[in-house]
Amino acid sequence: MGAGIRILAAFLAALAAAAGVAAQLRQDYYAAVCPDLESIVRDAVSKKVQDQPVAVGATIRLFFHDCFVEGCDASVILVSTGNSTAEKDHPNNLSLAGDGFDTVIKAKAAVDAVPACTNQVSCADILALATRDVIALAGGPSYAVELGRLDGLVSLSTNVDGKLPPPSFDLDQLTTLFAANNLSQADMIALSAAHTVGFAHCSTFAERIQPASVDPTMNATYAADLQAACPAGVDPNIALQLDPVTPQAFDNQYFVNLVNGRGLFTSDQVLYSDARSQPTVVAWAQNATDFEQAFVDAMTRLGRVGVKTDPSQGNIRRDCAFLN
């Protein structure tokens, strides 16, 4: 009971803080200065995904890793300097694919190529729009994106510690971490479905497929397939698709996989194996429309996390990778 009360208290505190942020963001934030912003970004993102389909999962993951560390402020894109190690060089971020960063950089260049839009749109907002666009391009829902974020002025590797959920987390650990970011357990379950696209290195799930002790919540055939693809001593650069059924489609197959014991990470499969979250997983496995609405609502709330709108907290970066 004590843990439950603490989670609720953290969630309510974050909810109150987020209410002010939501009031400052708005969908038409750039209407006067860059009216064609969304189509410019969408075209650039579409070209990138056409060239590199892996940009879909890479961009979604980049947005999540950005928002959960110092808020949605594009601080994860900043590069390290001689005397300061940036977020992107933290061990937990080294696996962020370069195609996610490149998606934002190419979209920023396209926006700045329009004279009226040059240096008018934040990298944080471009990342939020690009994330929506890659999801839609992969067959997922399109949705309105709130805008008005400023780019952060700080990016420190040490700020990442304890902010991102490792693949070993259980339901309580996941719920607590998401509650600290004003996200409910239902939001967490919905956002976890981003694992319907993308890849994971063998090391992130190796503990679950040890021949002598395969995780009992994993489908035996799936475990055998993973063991064959990730044998002992496998090249650490080898990565497998998170969704073995529809790997390039953003859909509710993620939840169907969980029901069938085919969640890749412990933090995925626990959403079904824990009786408290299982009903939500089953419901969304059976109803894609309900899942998509929950996902859109959760993404909107994720996009409000730690947002900076005061000029003392941020600005609009001329180059997303460097401070002005």
Residue 195 contacts residue 243 (beta carbons within 8 Å): yes
Same domain, 129 and 177: no
Residue 45 contacts residue 133 (beta carbons within 8 Å): yes
Among 307, 324, 186, 195, CA closest to 251: 195
Among 58, 57, 96, 106, CA closest to 76: 96
- Which CATH number characterizes residue 184's domain? 1.10.420.10
Residue 143 contacts residue 296 (beta carbons within 8 Å): yes
Question: What 3-state DSSP class applies to 312?
Answer: coil
Same domain, 27 and 158: yes
Please indicate whether residue 65 is annotated as part of the active site: yes
Burial of 302 (0-12, 13-18, 19+ CB in 10 A): buried
Pull the structure tokens for residue 175. 């719920």
Is residue 56 domain-resident?
yes
Same domain, 59 and 178: no
CA gap 319, 324 in Å, rounded:
7
Q: Please indicate if the annotation marks 251 as binding a ligand.
A: yes
Same domain, 185 and 61: no
CA distances from 79 to 83, 104, 140, 156, 186 (A): 12, 14, 31, 10, 34
Q: Please indicate if the annotation marks 243 as binding a ligand.
A: yes
Q: C-alpha angle 123/20/103, rounded to 5°?
A: 15
Same domain, 95 and 222: no
Same domain, 176 and 299: yes
Question: What 3-state DSSP class applies to 315?
Answer: strand
Among 124, 35, 154, 123, CA closest to 318: 123
Q: Which residue numbers in the chain have pLDDT < 50?
A: 16-17
Q: Please indicate if the annotation marks 69 as binding a ligand.
A: yes
Report the pLDDT value the prediction gives residue 236, as an integer from 0 to 100: 86
Report the pLDDT value the prediction gives residue 110, as an integer from 0 to 100: 98
pLDDT tens string 125-138:
999 999 999 999 99
Report the pLDDT value the prediction gives residue 57, as an integer from 0 to 100: 96
The C-alpha R_g of the chain, in whole angstroms, comes to: 19
CA distances from 63 to 27, 34, 126, 213 (A): 18, 22, 10, 35
From 42, 48, 61, 65, the catalytic residue: 65
Q: Please indicate if the annotation marks 112 as binding a ligand.
A: no
Strands (E), the chain: 151-152, 199-201, 239-241, 314-315
Same domain, 246 and 179: yes
- Please give the tally of structural domains in the chain: 2
CA distances from 3 to 6, 8, 184 (A): 5, 9, 15
What string of DSSP letters covers 120-176?
TS-HHHHHHHHHHHHHHHTT-------B-PPEES---GGGGTTTS--TT--HHHHHH
What residue numbers bound the domain in which 77 lies?
23-163
Q: Please indicate if the annotation marks 71 as binding a ligand.
A: yes
Same domain, 156 and 211: no
Same domain, 215 and 294: yes
